[in-house]
Amino acid sequence: MPVQRLATAPQPVPLGRETLPARRGQWARALTHLASLVPLALLIWDGAQGQLTVNPIQEITQRTGKTALALLVLSLACTPANRVLGLRVALLLRRPLGLYAFLYASLHLLTFFVLDYGLDVELIWGAVAEKRYVLAGLGAFVLLVPLALTSTRGWMRRLGRRWKPLHRLVYLAASLAVLHYVWLVKADIREPLLYGAAVAVLLGLRLPPVRRALASLRLALSAS
């Protein structure tokens, strides 16, 4: 494989340990795992302390949802972080961040179906069919399922060239997740818009013209 290709189109396969200072990569990964588990630990801790407001189901729903979205945005930031800032270590964090986003999204969905609606099919159907924000959220989750399932090295090998286009579904999933958030707040949409702006920037950085411009800028900067 020609070496130059790496600069413009990084391969989905995570960089081998030998291409990075091994220690740095390991530390970054360990930190990512730790940081991603903090919100869950806090949720359990606050639950045990009775600190989840007097409406704990709603609190659990909101916390897991926000964490899922934040992690999804971070996972989208990894590729541009490498490409724009030259942070190659970020590529090692993309998969764990994506998988933790999926974990929190699953907890979010479980809270909705099991804790909130008690698996009452009739009620859930009423809620899903009637509310556009539920449809957007559900859509985002459904898109994440095949991505989580095919995130292993084995599936990367098996899917080969098709792996990457498949995993571009995350762009749509993140956009739907933002829409889900925008549609469910009352009037003050500052926070959802913040996430929306982040997703827009991170997707914008992936547009070929933007990528080319940034690549030449980097080249010019490193030459000077």
Number of residues counted as binding another protein (CB under 8 A): 36
User: Using the rule CB under 8 A, which residue among 35, 57, 138, 203 binds another protein?
Assistant: 57
Please, what is the minimum distance in Å from the beta carbon of residue 187 to another protein?
Answer: 5
Angle (nearest 5°) at CA 123 between 122 and 127: 120
CB contact at 8 A, 105 and 143: no
Residue in 185, 174, 99, 163 with CA at minimum distance from that of residue 139: 174
Please, what is the minimum distance in Å from the beta carbon of residue 92 to another protein?
Answer: 29
Please, what is the minimum distance in Å from the beta carbon of residue 197 to another protein?
Answer: 17
- Residue with smaller CB distance to another protein, 3 or 187: 187
Chain positions 111 to 140 lying near another protein, rule: CB under 8 A, are 111, 114-120, 123, 126-127, 130-133
Give me the count of residues in the chain: 224
* Span near another protein by CB under 8 A; candidates 106-114, 135-143, 160-168, 200-208: 106-114
- CA-to-CA distance for 173 and 62, rounded, in angstroms? 18
Burial status of residue 84 (CB atoms within 10 A of its CB: 0-12, 13-18, 19 or more)? middle
- CA-to-CA distance for 85 and 83, rounded, in angstroms? 6
H/E stretch holding 159 reads: helix 153-159
Chain positions 140 to 199 lying near another protein, rule: CB under 8 A, are 183-184, 186-188
Positions that interact with another protein (CB under 8 A): 43-44, 46-50, 52-58, 60, 110-111, 114-120, 123, 126-127, 130-133, 183-184, 186-188
